[in-house]
Amino acid sequence: MMKKLFALFFAGFVASSVFAQEAPDALIQQVTEDVLDIIRKDKDIQSGNTNKAIELVDKKVLPHFNFQHMTALALGKDWRKATPQQQQLLIAEFKTLLVRTYSNALTSYKNQKVVYKPFKMNSGETDVLVRTEVLQPGSKPVQLDYSLEKLDSGWKVYDVVVAGISLVTNYRDQFGQEIRNGGVDGLIASLANKNKSMEANLAKVEKK
Amino acid sequence: MMVLGASGMRKFYRLLAAGVVGLAFSGVVMAEGNPRDPYEGFNRAMYSVNEAVDKFAAKPVAQVYDKAFPLPVKAGVGNFFGNVGDLWIGVNGALQGKFGDAGIDLGRLLVNSTVGIFGLFDVASELGLEKHDEDSGQTLAVWGVGDGAYLFWPIIGPRTMRDTAGWMIDSYVDPVWRVRPISVRNSLVALRFVDIRASLLPADKVVEEAALDKYAYVRDAYLQRRRNQIFDGRPPRLDD
């Protein structure tokens, strides 16, 4: 009897944790809290160690992002102009740019709190918006929303929207301009240059 | 702008209005440019001017302020000016037909001005009276006024034509500009400016690192953010 009860309890526990993994709002909450926990304890990240923040983002955040979708969204109609090889290069460079930029943003963390907005989802939905808010004393709350899509590998984020600004589609005009000026290869080169110069900056800062 | 008196402010508005009208008639449309940004040449020039002013004046002061004061002091400053703005936020909410929100804004003003000691503490938020984000530009938008061309102004920064008009209305009724004596008013205006600039320091770093073209990044972010504010954080999805 005891054994059966225990098994039932255990099964329930496993089922609920699987369920938690599957719900997109629970996923966002879990990843956010994991990351905030680590930053709160990590004096290096708080004092501006970007490399350490990148490591954290690589490990905790990236597995839940779909960079192919993000890159396609950033290019809009121009995405189809790129060959599959060009697309792979674009994804790689765009990923580096986004990860470095926003890892760096994490280093400005100062006691902000994240509030999770009520989330409702119809069964069978495969594209949802999870809404959160970042609270900081003395400032207006900042809206922070995530668009997620359901893939075979689980829910993946394909857009992050800060105060109404999509960090992905905000690139569309700039990318379009680069492509008009130098074609898809021109855009790839610009992104690569940008990433190289940021890498160089970072190396300079770390040396100091 | 901080050192202009009331007549100076009026002159500044007139100049600004003349600028808007002048731009509207000059009709310099760039061939391959963004249709929402027909005066890109002018705007980019103003953007560079602003960058220079920011680099040598506004930003260094904001950085000193940010380092010199502990978080509770800065929060108090932000809360104080936030409280001053809540009445006008409520008026704009009401003008857009959001009477419930306007009531909350009024409640916030009452609670924070008293229990919150002249607005230094945002007690109302702790009580669940949520702060709203409204201004005259948003009200005009809800009434059906379109964006108009995107403009980049020295010192005040990006505004669409509609939001430039909204900004003029907002500044005209701004209680901080009416404080007397003038010396106190100037200090308050300066403090608010520095506090806002300081709160944008982390965003600076992001733009610096994220953008291929900072001008375009700021423009597109501004336009997206305004659209989001007009729809109170739930803009209809655009088709990709």
For residue range A80-103, what is the model confidence (pLDDT) as tens digits? 999 999 999 999 999 999 999 888
Residue A48, pLDDT score: 85
Contact call for residues B188 and A83 (beta carbons, < 8 A): no
Judged by average pLDDT, the poorest of A12-21, A117-126, B81-90 is A12-21
Amino acid at site B170: D
Residue listed under structure tokens 């209680």: B175
Q: What residue in B sits closest to A132 (Cα-Cα)? A: B233
Residue B2, pLDDT score: 43
pLDDT band at A107 (very low <50, low <70, confident <90, very high): confident
Please give the angle made by the CA atoms of A103, A108 and A110, to the nearest 5 degrees. 130
Per-residue pLDDT at A39 exceeds 50:
yes
What span, in angstroms and rounded, lies between the C-alpha atoms of A188 and B118? Answer: 54
For chain B, the straight-line distance linking the first and the last C-alpha, in angstroms and rounded, comes to 41
Kindly give, in sequence order, each residue whose CB lies less than 8 Å from that of residue A79, ignoring residues fewer than 6 positions away: A71, A72, A87
Q: pTM value?
A: 0.85
CA A5 centroid distance within chain? 41
Q: What residue in B sits closest to A69 (Cα-Cα)? A: B240
Mean pLDDT score, A64-81: 96
Residue B108, pLDDT score: 97
Q: Which stretches of chain A are DSSP H helices?
A: 2-22, 24-41, 43-46, 50-56, 67-75, 84-106, 172-207
A11-15, A86-90, A103-107: range with highest mean pLDDT: A86-90
> Is B235 in the A-facing interface, judged by CB distances under 8 Å?
yes
For residue range B87-101, what is the model confidence (pLDDT) as tens digits? 999 999 999 999 999
Q: Round the average pLDDT of chain A to a whole number and report it.
A: 89
> Is B212 in the A-facing interface, judged by CB distances under 8 Å?
yes
Mean pLDDT score, A141-162: 94
Cross-chain residue pair B78–A139, CB shorter than 8 Å: yes
pLDDT band at A111 (very low <50, low <70, confident <90, very high): confident
Q: How many CB atoms lie within 10 A of CB B143?
A: 9
Kindly give, in sequence order, each residue whose CB lies less than 8 Å from that of residue A99, ignoring residues fewer than 6 positions away: A54, A57, A58, A62
Chain B, 92 to 131: residues with Cβ < 8 Å from chain A are 122, 131
Q: What residue in B sits closest to A198 (Cα-Cα)? A: B209
What span, in angstroms and rounded, lies between the C-alpha atoms of A194 and A186? Answer: 12
Q: Which residues of chain B have pLDDT under 50?
A: 1-4, 25-31
Contact call for residues B140 and B162 (beta carbons, < 8 A): yes
What span, in angstroms and rounded, lies between the C-alpha atoms of A75 and A171? Answer: 8
Residue B14, pLDDT score: 60
Cross-chain residue pair B202–A108, CB shorter than 8 Å: yes
Contact call for residues A100 and A54 (beta carbons, < 8 A): yes
Kindly give, in sequence order, each residue whose CB lies less than 8 Å from that of residue A27, ignoring residues fewer than 6 positions away: A20, A21, A64, A148, A154, A155
CA B152 centroid distance within chain? 13
Q: Which of A98, A170, A198 sits opposite B221 (nearest CB)?
A: A170
DSSP reduced 3-state for B224: helix
Q: What residue in A sits closest to B200 (Cα-Cα)? A: A139
| φ, ψ dihedrals at B158, nearest 5° | -70, 135
Residue A200, pLDDT score: 86
> Is A51 in the B-facing interface, judged by CB distances under 8 Å?
no
Task: Spell out the domains of chain A, with CATH numbers in brackets.
Answer: 2-207 (3.10.450.710)
Residue A102, pLDDT score: 81
> Is B239 in the A-facing interface, judged by CB distances under 8 Å?
no
